[in-house]
Amino acid sequence: MLKGKSAVVTGSTSGIGLGIADALAAAGANVMLNGFGKPEEIEAIRAGLAAKHKVTVLYSGADMSKGEDVAGLVQGAEQAFGSVDILVNNAGIQFVSAVDEFPEARWAAIQAINLSSSYHAIKAALPGMKKRNWGRIVNIASAHGLVASPFKSAYVAAKHGQVGLTKSVALEVAEQNITVNAICPGYVRTPLVEGQIDDQAKAHNMPRDRVIREVILASQPNKRFVEVEEVAQLALFLCGEYAKSITGTSIAIDGGWTAR
């Protein structure tokens, strides 16, 4: 399906990003991984994907909070693979606080990683995509790119911005066979979320199953987590030929959260 294509997936050493990288590699794409972690664990992931799918898998430790690093990540992938045909902007961080108590450094970091990194990566990738008259950009936003929750002002602002960026860029490149879409997941079962469940269980002195249903998934009507593979398969579809007329959209995969 994607044989001969090459992809950059930011924040892809775990969770949603790793799931998307795996799906793209399974479809035949070469993949540039990016993210934090122990070097030996990252190398095991990289080598495992390459061996499993018989594609080239590389890794960059580029810091997504720094624009020059983001541009360097894309440019390095272009040099290594010969092209960057697919860009998945997935890197993100979170911090929860009342807005009048929100640390300015935390606000700036969330905007830099969750929003500005997408701008820098898109800016670096588009010239090559335009030259080849083909490209797929998928921004992993959030249900919080469509609706808000209290105490998450920085995250909600950044994800709303990412959705707006998606629409604007899609209109700019609509005639050049380049699509730009946002995926807006609800709560996805990732190692990070599993840790939040344990923390909430201790904080509320509640069993895990009750925390999941009444706290974590309170806004998710189907009362089950989105699985990483569901997001990955949606991203894969958006990168394929059958999605060539889907652009400028924000697709919710949230168990009905944003239908309220």
Residues marked active site are found at 155
Cβ pair 9, 90 in contact under 8 A: yes
Q: Where are the alpha helices (DSSP H) in the chain?
A: 15-26, 39-53, 67-81, 104-111, 117-132, 153-172, 191-204, 208-211, 228-238
């579809």: which residue's tokens? Answer: 237
Per residue, the 3-state secondary structure of 63-88, as one string, reads: CCCCHHHHHHHHHHHHHHHCCCCEEE
Distance CA 99, CA 175 (A): 41
- How would DSSP label each residue in 147-162? S--TTBHHHHHHHHHH
Helix (H, G, I), strand (E, B) or coil at 3: coil
* H helix intervals, 112-152: 117-132
Burial pattern 104-114, b for ≥16 Cβ within 10 A else e, equals eeebebbbbbb
**In this structure, what DSSP letter does residue 227 have?**
P
Residues 230, 195: Cα–Cα separation, whole Å: 21
Backbone torsion region of residue 56, taken as left when φ is above 0, otherwise alpha when ψ lies between -120 and 50, otherwise beta: beta
